[in-house]
Amino acid sequence: MPKTGERVWKAGELAARTGLTVRTLHHYDAIGLLSPSGRTGSAHGPGHRLYTAADLARLQQILSLKQLGFGLDEVREYLSRDDYDPRRVVRLHLARVTGQADELRKLADRLAALADALDKAEAVSADDFLNTVREITMVEQYYTQEQLEQLAARKEQVGQARVDEVQAEWPRLMAEVQSAMDARTDPADPKAQALARRWFGLVAEFTGGDPGIFKSLKKMYETEDKVHDMDVKAMRPMMEWVGQAAAAAGIELPG
């Protein structure tokens, strides 16, 4: 109900002014976000929408809030009530947005790594592609975001030197276990128990004793065939044998 003589705008004019579409204005009307103050009187159907200067001002506020990434229902809330704390709202929203931005950055990093890997190889078949993709995404499939951060922090703590040492230790240990198994050594044998202690010592050094990480790692090694060029499939019999030896030795596993 605009005052008579007041300047009014029709949907198309508003759309042109704001860069929106008429459909969008209809939508805002439908969801009760912005309803025109008036309509042209018409014979049969509903008349044309007539927006006043006040409507226009409200629309500008809507657009501003929308540009900050708020949802339309949030926008409606903020415009209808004034008993909320803008600071808190903005900070919460900022946190959300930075979170999303971080996610996307990580995704971009993964993709860049993938692009690099593909560039290094000469011919790239569809299989190579899928394998490389797998390589890069595997780790994230098993660890949660939080766990990955813990792992990074832990790596920082122990230093690269020790990480390299552990990496070098694994093949040696696996060879020893394999020969013990080939010799049909009983898992309850003290030698087997010693191997189990070394084995789970290395594991614990990686997991930092975190049960969640232990479980994730376990699942990954049970599910995957290759991890980081290591033949995990071949490790599975060893893992069972070592598990038995650990049980005999009374080693407590984090899981």
Angle at the Cα of 85 (from 79 to 88), degrees rounded to 5? 115
Question: Considering the rule CB under 7 A, would residue 147 count as an interface residue with DNA?
Answer: no
Q: Token digits for 142?
A: 């098993």
Positive or negative, the Cα torsion across 8, 12, 14, 17?
negative
Least distance (Å) between residue 82 CB and a second copy: 4
Taking CB within 5 to 8 Å according to partner kind, which of a second copy, DNA, none is near residue 34? none
Q: Closer to DNA by CB, 21 or 64: give it.
A: 21
Q: Token digits for 50?
A: 């007539």
Taking CB within 5 to 8 Å according to partner kind, which of DNA, a second copy, none is near residue 250? none
Element holding 39 (H helix, E strand):
strand 38-39
Q: Which of residues 20-79 bind DNA (CB under 7 A)?
A: 21-27, 29, 40-49, 66, 71-73
Q: Which of 31, 54, 111, 175 binds a second copy (CB under 8 A)?
A: 111
* Residue type present at position 120: K
Q: Token digits for 31?
A: 């969801």
* Residue type present at position 210: D
Task: Find the part of the chain contacting a second copy (CB under 8 A) among 105-113, 146-154, 165-173, 199-207.
Answer: 105-113
Which residue in this structure is represented by tokens 């951060």? 149
Q: Closer to DNA by CB, 21 or 141: give it.
A: 21
Of 7, 8, 66, the closest CA to residue 36 belongs to 8
Q: d(Cα 39, Cα 55) in Å, to the nearest integer?
A: 13
Phi, psi for residue 146 in degrees, rounded to 5: -60, -45
Q: Which of 98, 145, 167, 179 binds a second copy (CB under 8 A)?
A: 98
Taking CB within 5 to 8 Å according to partner kind, which of DNA, a second copy, none is near residue 12? DNA
Q: Which of 22, 114, 148, 181 binds a second copy (CB under 8 A)?
A: 114
Least distance (Å) between residue 105 CB and a second copy: 5
Q: Which residues of this protein are in contact with DNA, per CB under 7 A?
A: 10-13, 15, 21-27, 29, 40-49, 66, 71-73
